[in-house]
Amino acid sequence: MKKVISLLLCICIIFSLFGCMSKTNEQDTENTKTEPKVNYSDNLKAVWLSFYEIGDMFRELEESAAKEKLNAFFADLADRGINTVFFHVRAFCDAFYKSDYFPVSTYCSGDYDLLKHAVFYAHKHNLSLHAWVNPYRVALDTTIDRLPGDSPAVKLYKEDKSHLILVGGNIFLNPASAKAQKLILNGIREIVSKYDVDGIHFDDYFYPSAEKGIDKQTYAAYREGGGRLTLEDYRRENVTALIAAAHLIVKQHNPNMLFGVSPQCFIEKNKTELFADIVNWVENEMVDYIIPQIYFGFENESAPFKECVDTWCELMQNKKPLLYVGLALYKSGKEDEYASDDTKNKNSPYYEWQNHSDIIAKQIQYLREKEIKGYSLYSVSALTDVSDENENLMNEVKNLQKLLKQ
C-alpha cells in the first residue's frame, strides 16, 4: 500500500512539473527525431566517456579536427567490439551541446556543437550513444561567485538560497526544489528533442549528504504545508519524482529510447544515504535498465565481486528492467585501498589488481554465467590509452579484447 501511495505522489509531482515546464525550441541537427539507430539491450558492451576525458580530447580542437577525431575514436571503439558509449553531456549544470538552459562546459570549445557531431559519428560506426547526465551536481567548489555568470544555478541561488545545497566542498541543486527539478527536466526534454541520442543515462549522484540540515528550509516548508513524510522518505520521494518524470519525458518522445541509472553498488546505502530508492524504481518500471557500479575484485574482503553480483541478480529477478554491471577497468595495475587494510602481505586483496591481469575478463565470464545482459567499463581511457608502464592493464586489455569480440 505504501508503494502505491508513493507512486501516486510521484505522478502528482510529475504533472505539476509538466504544467510549469516550458517547451524546448527544436533545432535541426545532422539527425533529428528519428528512431534510435542501434539498441544493444540484450548484449551491452559499453564504455563511459567522462567529462574530463572529453576535455582532454576535444577542448583545444577546432571543429574540423574534432570531427576527424570523433570519427577515428568511434571507429576504434567499434573495431574493439564496443557497441555503446555513455557520453557525458552535462557534468556540472553545464552542457557539451548548444543549450537554451545551461552554459557551455569549460571542458569543451563553445565554437561548435560537440554532441551533434558525436551522435552522427557514433551512429556512422553503428554505435549506440546515450547522453550521460549528472542531474544535481553544480560544482566541485562551494564558492557561488566562481560559477559562470550565466549558470542557472546562480540565478536560482539569488532568488532563494534553498534551491541549492552547499556541502562537502561541492554545490548541488536541491532535489526538493521544484524549480531545480523543472530545470533538470527541461534539460532532458531539450536533449531528446534536439539530438538523436539512443538514451538518457544518470549515474550515482543523488542527495550529496545524509546530514539533516542540508535541506532544513525546504523540509520545514513541506511540513508546514501539511506534509507528513519523514525526512528520509521525503528525500526519497524527491529523487523518485525526478526519475519517474525523466523516464516519462524519454518515453513520450520515443518509446524505444532508453532511460537508465548507474547507482553505486550497495542497495541499502543508496536508499539510506543517497536517498535513491532503486527497489522502487525497478518494481515500478521507472527505468529501462540498472548498471550498479560493482568496482570490486573477487578477493575484496567486505564486498567480493560475486557476492555483489548475486545480490543484484536476486533483486532484478523476474523484473522488466534489465541488469547490467559496471566494471572497474581503471583499477588494473593499481593498489586497492578499499579491498583490505592489510598492506604488508603482498598476497592481500589490497594488491589483487596488481597480482592479476585477467580480473575483468573473469568478471565478464561470471556475468555471462549469471545470464546478465551486458556491462560497461569505467572508463574509456583505461581501454584506449594504455601506458607501457602499466603492464597489468596492458595484459588486462588483451584478455578483455577477446571477450569484447564475442
Please give the pLDDT value at position 28. 37
Report the pLDDT averaged over residues 44-55: 97
Look up residue 380 and give its three cell numbers.
574509456
Please give the pLDDT value at position 8. 52
Please name the amino acid found at residue 213. G
Q: Is 271 in contact with 279 (CB distance < 8 Å)? A: yes
179-227 tens-digit pLDDT? 999 999 999 999 999 999 999 999 999 999 999 999 999 999 999 999 9
pLDDT band at 23 (very low <50, low <70, confident <90, very high): very low
pLDDT band at 374 (very low <50, low <70, confident <90, very high): very high
pLDDT at 29 over 70: no
**pTM over cut 0.85:** yes
pLDDT at 1 over 60: no
226-285 tens-digit pLDDT? 999 999 999 999 999 999 999 999 999 999 999 999 999 999 999 999 999 999 999 999
- Cα distance between residue 380 and residue 81, in whole Å: 13
Report the pLDDT averaged over residues 64-77: 98
Mind giving me the DSSP string for 328-351?
Answer: -GGGTTS--TTT-S--S-TTSGGG
Please give the pLDDT value at position 27. 37
Residues 6+ away with beta carbon under 8 Å from 170: 137, 138, 139, 140, 141, 142, 208
In CATH, the architecture of 2-132+176-290 is: Alpha-Beta Barrel (3.20)
Domain ranges of the chain: 2-132+176-290
Please give the pLDDT value at position 63. 97
Residue 264 gets the label, from left (phi > 0), alpha (psi -120 to 50) or beta, of beta
